Amino acid sequence: MEIPDPLTPPLRYNVVQNNLYRGAYPREINFKFIKSLQIKTLLSLTPDPVTPETDAKLYEFAMKNNIRLVHVECSQSGKGKKRGVPMGYTTVIEALNYIIHNEHAPIYIHCLNGGQVTSLVVACLRRLQFWSSISIFNEFINFTTSITVNDRNFVEGFKGQININAGDKVDWLWVGMSKGVIENHPKLKFTEI
């Protein structure tokens, strides 16, 4: 009897919410697992986009499986960056605008190693969801070796304007919130489009 190839998830893989997955950069050994998720969008939080020149195998896998490749440019090291983190708030908001709309789901978000960069975006998503700081940072530490003061300050200071298409918003974004709470978010402004 032939044993089928095992499904091998990417490093630091996890389910964030329904139809939202996170982890490290998918390698060829992970393709069968990624395919099993039936993702529609691969959101790369990396210095360079996935192209035939940068990663022919991942590009070909995505094209063959009708997976949309989206790139949001992020550094992989906070060194020399403002606030000591690899991105700014506009970058996080760009990523969140993909994450919170059903048209892109199921979605897999990744950086190179599934650590700091992906964790910062997920932590800001949790701020958007009204999670407490302690819950956010407990989740954060599960995917990184440590959390820096710069990481904490970045997440706690997260602010900006988020455009929401109410007819396409993911169901899990504000489960259990009373009407009026979201409009009074202390750090974020929401515009319905």
pLDDT tens digits along 43-64: 999 999 999 999 999 999 999 9
Q: What is the pLDDT of residues 123-179, one digit of tens each?
A: 999 999 999 999 999 999 999 888 999 999 999 999 988 888 878 899 998 876 666
Looking at residue 81, its pLDDT comes to 47
Burial class (CB in 10 A: 0-12, 13-18, 19+), 28: exposed
Look up 124 and say whether it is catalytic: no
Given the residues 96, 100, 111, 136, select the one marked as catalytic: 111
Mean predicted confidence (pLDDT) in 111-130: 94
Looking at residue 80, its pLDDT comes to 41
Mean predicted confidence (pLDDT) in 80-94: 79
Average pLDDT, the chain: 89
Mean predicted confidence (pLDDT) in 14-21: 97
Q: How many whole angstroms from its chain centre is CA 50?
A: 16
Looking at residue 79, its pLDDT comes to 45
Q: Map residue 20 onto helix, strand or coil.
A: strand
Range in 21-25, 32-36, 166-170 the model is least confident about: 166-170
Domain ranges of the chain: 14-192
Task: For 14-192, give the CATH class.
Answer: alpha beta
Q: Map residue 161 onto helix, strand or coil.
A: strand
Choose between 116 and 79: higher pLDDT.
116
Is residue 116 a contact partner of residue 141, using CB atoms and an 8 Å limit?
Answer: no
Encoded amino acid at 15, one letter: V
Long-range CB contacts (< 8 A, 24+ apart) of 51-60? Answer: 57/28, 57/31, 58/26, 58/28, 58/31
- Nearest to 118, CA basis, from 94, 137, 148, 95: 95
Say how far apart CA 130 and CA 124 lie, in whole Å: 10
Beta bridge partners of 14: 22
- Nearest to 109, CA basis, from 127, 136, 91: 91
User: Which residue matches tokens 């329904």?
Assistant: 18
Say how far apart CA 86 and CA 112 lie, in whole Å: 12
Say how far apart CA 29 and CA 8 lie, in whole Å: 6
- Model confidence at 109, pLDDT cuts 50, 70, 90, reads very high
Choose between 39 and 5: higher pLDDT.
39
